[in-house]
Structure 1
Amino acid sequence: MEPRRMCGREIRGHLLGVYGLEVSPERIPTGTGEVLAEAAQWQHLPLRKGLKMPPVT
């Protein structure tokens, strides 16, 4: 959500509205950092055979 330039208050409201999840304002930067780190690791996993990636433009 940070790449969309959402501030902590907006992220907190989104999590509450969509998932019913209450998160402290202090947790937002820590949580987004953890998610981004895990996403970076996931991006380097090899693709399964037969799975094709569309070209990135």
Structure 2
Amino acid sequence: MIRLQKYLAECGVASRRASEQLIAAGRVHVNSVPAMLGQSIDPDRDEVAVDGAP
């Protein structure tokens, strides 16, 4: 398990701080459900989308 902000930063989507802003704005979804700040994901099992793009 990894924190969503860290995962987005490692993928090059945004920095951890910028990722928090994306999540708070409702632009990040995990398995088609809006993400929450502090959420942990399993990169092998969960599908993460930012602005609808995986």
Structure 2 length-normalised TM: 0.35
Which of the pair has more CA radius of gyration? 1
| Bigger RCO of structures 1 and 2 (CA < 8 A, at least 6 apart) | 2
Structure 1 length-normalised TM: 0.34
- In terms of fraction of residues, the more strand-rich structure is 2
- In terms of fraction of residues, the more helix-rich structure is 1
